[in-house]
Amino acid sequence: MLPDAPELAARGSYKVGVRTVDLVHKNQIDILSQPKGLDTLMYYDRPLKIEVWYPTILDENEREIVSYDQVMGQVGAEDRPLIPFTFLGRSSRDAKPAIKDGSFPLINVSHGYTDSRLLFTYLTENLASKGYVVVSIDHTGSTYRDAGPFNSTLLNRSLDDLFVLNEMDGLSKTKGAFLQGLANADTTGLVGWSMGS
């Protein structure tokens, strides 16, 4: 840590694991495909990709380093094409959670319009090292890769957050799930930036 870094920038005592999970929020209103004049609502199964950071205990031979894949730019904008890049983080991909230490408070992170679930990795990794389970959502139709009309973001943002909170609670209560007994959804915080706040 740099000598002029804020006091809370220091990492906590836990090593950090990270896992990518694909979820589907079934039977959601498809506001973008709704034909004009049709009285019946259209529905679809809404895909959501999430990243989960959590406290872990690593073996001596396991490294706390991960490579994240991301893009910058704006989908459909010729003057801002999507440019892929990778960056390193301080987590161990798919590491075993530190379940022997009991459950940890949950933090749900919501990005702005347009961004991604990886926007705040410096914060999400840091919080996990301090004893939190942190989940960050790629809000479908609101990321660099797939930005669509803003009315979909307005409709779905809070619904995504609530759905993911319930899914995390379910994963913590499901026997054999990687988060079994790890996340305490009864103690949850929400972090957001711009549209995510």
For the stretch 135-159, pLDDT in tens is 999 999 999 888 888 888 989 999 9
Instruction: Read off the pLDDT band of 39 (50, 70, 90).
Output: confident
Residue 79 is predicted with a pLDDT of 80
Residue 32 is predicted with a pLDDT of 87
| Residue 124 pLDDT > 90 | yes
Instruction: Read off the pLDDT band of 95 (50, 70, 90).
Output: very high
Helix (H) or strand (E) holding 27: strand 15-29
The two structure tokens encoding residue 40: 């019946």
The two structure tokens encoding residue 83: 């440019």
Report the pLDDT averaged over residues 171-180: 92
Residue 182 is predicted with a pLDDT of 93
The two structure tokens encoding residue 124: 């999400």
Higher pLDDT, 57 or 90: 90
Higher pLDDT, 122 or 98: 122
The two structure tokens encoding residue 56: 């872990």
| Residue 37 pLDDT > 80 | no
Do the bridges between strand 15-29 and strand 183-192 make them parallel or antiparallel, or are there none, so unpaired? unpaired
| Superfamily (CATH H level) for 7-196 | Alpha/Beta hydrolase fold, catalytic domain (3.40.50.1820)
Residue 104 is predicted with a pLDDT of 95
Evaluate whether 24 touches 45 at the Cβ level (below 8 Å).
Answer: yes
Evaluate whether 82 touches 75 at the Cβ level (below 8 Å).
Answer: yes
